[in-house]
């Protein structure tokens, strides 16, 4: 029987989940749950749209609910609340607050005997797995994580809040020289500035002072001040045409040594045309695992570290062993 | 309390395990078990050497036995036999015979209530995990595995068996053009010849017919006939000096698409100075997992697909979540 998936929230991530479920042979999407007026929302694949408040009546129709809200205000509330009713998966990515989030979700999920995966996606998520496997295999070594080339939505938003800016896209770009050193096993110590550069494409409002905008971007604390930042002013047309997508990616490298200084480099990299669709695909694989774990009696808050990889595959264990081992 | 590790077999792999255990904060090596005369074997770190037949008396002193024999004749016998007495880990890598090996090991381990990991290393092993995660996340896509640049011991041995050959080393090398196509998301169909080339460094015996040797190498079925093969004749000194190591590595790529043809490329790559020491490091991480799983009551034959990644880390779960997620 197909795994029945509910999609809670219908922005870029929720839309990606809808497509990923459609692409999964063993799953079916029950519907989208939104805080907007349901009749105002049209789904890509024609699945029904419900008011978010309807979800609790549908416990018997949903095997796992994928939470597609944001980490700042949505998920800290929604994940513990929904874990009382459903197996859930979220993409909570505020690293510093994960332990606190985990504790609240764990209490809710245990009380309800549900499985709740938090912080699923690619970072946190697949990159975390790469860091774990790398460090377990090469205990003497260093971890390096580079992000990009890709669009950072947080940084793009920060530019858009500057007076005189009509629109903006910001790319995070790994510094090739630093990457090359790490790949060569040199184990360098790298500052923030040495690891990434930032490139901004900005649409200025008519008559705005571009020199001031550029200065405000480059000196913005936390976001840009610690980086070598390039600012390009472009027209709205050019921004839409050349910078319309949300590509992203990055690299996790474990560089370590064994024996008499035999060096080993493990590299895990992602090149993604669509950050949201890829993240959604990861969520859907862990949704499968949540349902399987729960059927076996597991409950509580789980991370990507806590599930045997075979639970993620639509194939059964014998087939996985025969074909992939 | 430290995990007490026995090392069964003391070739390159066993020596690598000895060093990897020494490098693991939570483990101690109890000793090496060998079929040679124990007094003829000297360990690198001074750990004791026992006759292989002594091992069954040491059930109370060993938490996990790492089997360091070969896949062709040693492991098919040793793993089921030792799984009756110990938690074990092996590196069985004859892909076609894994299901049969698994069945025999599973029966032994279940009867003894022990955990037995088979087919651990990098391929099968970490590369298998990359294939599983990649396919679970991107169900619409293709897997590509490239090996090298690295020394293939099986191919080097095959050359050494040719009449007139004194010594030889064979490198397997991925074809850059093929790799580039895969990395670009082109999803090419690749023949054996298009994926890898083979480069051979051969020491001929005095007076041997080099042209015949080269011909015999290049036309050898299974090993070389399907590849573009280059043969270099070198002196024993040059072979020792420039080709003394056992470097290896490779790449697993999952190339897939989501939504309206948004392409994604996941790449997992290894560059290893010492194949044996790296493989040994993987075995040791899974030895840790075997002991932990068994303490929780698990038993039977396991693969890399069957264990939550957190069991591999010397760190505890809270620390792993705080630092690596």
Q: What is the DSSP string of A75-117?
A: HHHHHHHHTTTSEEE-----GGGHHHHHHHHHHHHHHHT-EEE
For residue A168, list its beta bridge partners.
A202
Q: Do A320 and B132 touch (CB under 8 A)?
A: yes
What is Dmax (Cα atoms) for chain A? 67
CA–CA separation, B210 vs A285, rounded Å? 55
Q: Do A95 and B285 touch (CB under 8 A)?
A: no
Query: Least CB-CB distance to A277: which of B139, B183, B262?
Result: B262
Instruction: Answer whether residue B1 shows pLDDT above 90.
Output: no
Q: Do B317 and A305 touch (CB under 8 A)?
A: yes
Mean predicted confidence (pLDDT) in A100-114: 98
Q: What are the chain A neighbours of B276 within 8 Å (beta carbons)?
A: none
Q: Do B303 and A325 touch (CB under 8 A)?
A: yes
Q: Other C-beta atoms within 10 Å of B53: how many?
A: 9
Exposure of A222 by Cβ count < 10 A (0-12 exposed, 13-18 middle, 19+ buried)? Answer: exposed
Q: Which residue in chain B is spatially nearest to A136 when comparing CA positions? A: B313
Mean predicted confidence (pLDDT) in A31-40: 97
Helix (H, G, I), strand (E, B) or coil at B127: helix
Q: Which residue in chain A is spatially nearest to B120 when comparing CA positions? A: A325
Q: Do A266 and B262 touch (CB under 8 A)?
A: no
CA–CA separation, A41 vs A18, rounded Å? 13
Q: Which of A100, A119, A137 to mutate to test the interface with B (most CBs of B within 10 A)?
A: A137
Residues 6+ apart with CB under 8 A from A295: none
Peptide bond into A56 cis (omega under 30): no
Q: Other C-beta atoms within 10 Å of B175: how many?
A: 18
Q: Which of B143, B258, B280 to mutate to test the interface with A (most CBs of A within 10 A)?
A: B258
Mean predicted confidence (pLDDT) in B198-203: 98
- Please give the pLDDT value at position A6: 98
Query: Least CB-CB distance to B274: which of A124, A259, A317?
Result: A259
A-B CB pairs within 8 A amount to 208
Instruction: Answer whether residue A5 shows pLDDT above 90.
Output: yes
Rounded to the nearest angstrom, the minimum Cα separation between A234 and chain B is 25
Mean predicted confidence (pLDDT) in B95-112: 96
**Each residue's pLDDT tens digit, A15-29:** 999 999 999 999 999
Q: Which residue in chain A is spatially nearest to B125 when comparing CA positions? A: A325
Place of tokens 């009749």: A39
Structure confidence at residue A71 as a pLDDT band (50, 70, 90):
very high
**Each residue's pLDDT tens digit, A133-157:** 999 999 999 999 999 999 998 899 9
Q: Do B314 and A139 touch (CB under 8 A)?
A: yes
Q: Which of B131, B259, B322 to mutate to test the interface with A (most CBs of A within 10 A)?
A: B259
Q: How far is CA B27 from CA A312, B2, B86, in A?
A: 31, 5, 16
Structure confidence at residue A249 as a pLDDT band (50, 70, 90):
very high
Mean predicted confidence (pLDDT) in B226-255: 96
Q: Which of A123, A133, A280, A287 to mutate to test the interface with B (most CBs of B within 10 A)?
A: A133
Q: What are the chain B neighbours of A124 within 8 Å (beta carbons)?
A: 325
CA–CA separation, A85 vs B321, rounded Å? 25
Q: What are the chain A neighbours of B274 within 8 Å (beta carbons)?
A: 258-259, 262, 264
Query: Least CB-CB distance to B308: which of A280, A305, A314?
Result: A305
Q: Do A23 and B324 touch (CB under 8 A)?
A: no
Query: Least CB-CB distance to B305: which of A19, A281, A308?
Result: A308
Q: Which of B97, B106, B131, B136 to mutate to test the interface with A (most CBs of A within 10 A)?
A: B136
Q: What are the chain A neighbours of B105 within 8 Å (beta carbons)?
A: none
**Each residue's pLDDT tens digit, A250-289:** 999 999 999 999 999 999 999 999 999 999 999 999 999 9
**Each residue's pLDDT tens digit, B118-171:** 999 999 999 999 999 999 999 999 999 999 999 998 899 999 999 999 999 999
Rounded to the nearest angstrom, the minimum Cα separation between A229 and chain B is 27
DSSP conformation class of B314: S
- Please give the pLDDT value at position A1: 85
Query: Least CB-CB distance to B281: which of A25, A138, A321?
Result: A138
Query: Least CB-CB distance to B264: which of A131, A273, A308?
Result: A273
Q: Which carries the bigger pLDDT value, residue B205 or residue B153?
A: B205
């Amino acid at each position: 029987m197909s795994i029945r998936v509910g999609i809670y929230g219908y922005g870029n991530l929720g839309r990606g989940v809808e497509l990923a479920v459609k692409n999964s042979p063993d799953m079916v999407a029950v519907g989208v749950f939104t805080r907007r007026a349901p009749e105002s929302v049209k789904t890509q694949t024609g699945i029904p749209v419900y008011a978010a408040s309807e979800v609790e009546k549908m416990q018997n129709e949903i095997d796992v609910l994928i939470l597609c809200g944001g980490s700042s205000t949505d998920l800290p509330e929604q994940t513990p609340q929904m874990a009382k009713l459903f197996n859930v998966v979220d993409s909570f990515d505020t690293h510093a607050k994960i332990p606190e989030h985990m504790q609240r979700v764990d209490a809710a999920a245990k009380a309800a005997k549900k499985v709740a995966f938090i912080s699923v996606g690619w970072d946190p998520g697949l990159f975390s797995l790469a860091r774990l496997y790398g460090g377990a295999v090469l205990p003497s070594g260093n971890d390096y994580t580079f992000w990009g080339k890709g669009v950072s939505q947080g940084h793009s938003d920060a530019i858009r809040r500057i007076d005189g800016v009509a629109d903006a896209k910001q790319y995070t770009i790994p510094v090739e020289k630093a990457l090359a050193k790490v790949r060569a096993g040199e184990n360098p110590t790298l500052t923030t500035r040495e690891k990434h550069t930032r490139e901004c494409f900005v649409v200025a409002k008519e008559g705005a002072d571009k020199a001031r905008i550029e200065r405000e971007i480059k000196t913005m604390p936390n976001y840009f001040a610690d980086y070598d930042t390039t600012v390009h002013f472009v027209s709205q047309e050019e921004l839409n045409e050349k910078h319309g997508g949300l590509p992203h990616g990055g690299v996790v490298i474990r560089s370590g040594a064994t024996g008499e200084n035999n060096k080993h480099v493990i590299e895990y990299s992602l090149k993604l045309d669509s950050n949201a669709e890829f993240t959604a695909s990861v969520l859907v694989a862990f949704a499968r695992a949540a349902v399987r774990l729960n059927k076996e009696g597991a409950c509580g808050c789980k991370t990507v570290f806590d599930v045997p990889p075979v639970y993620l595959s639509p194939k059964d264990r014998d087939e996985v062993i025969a074909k992939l081992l």
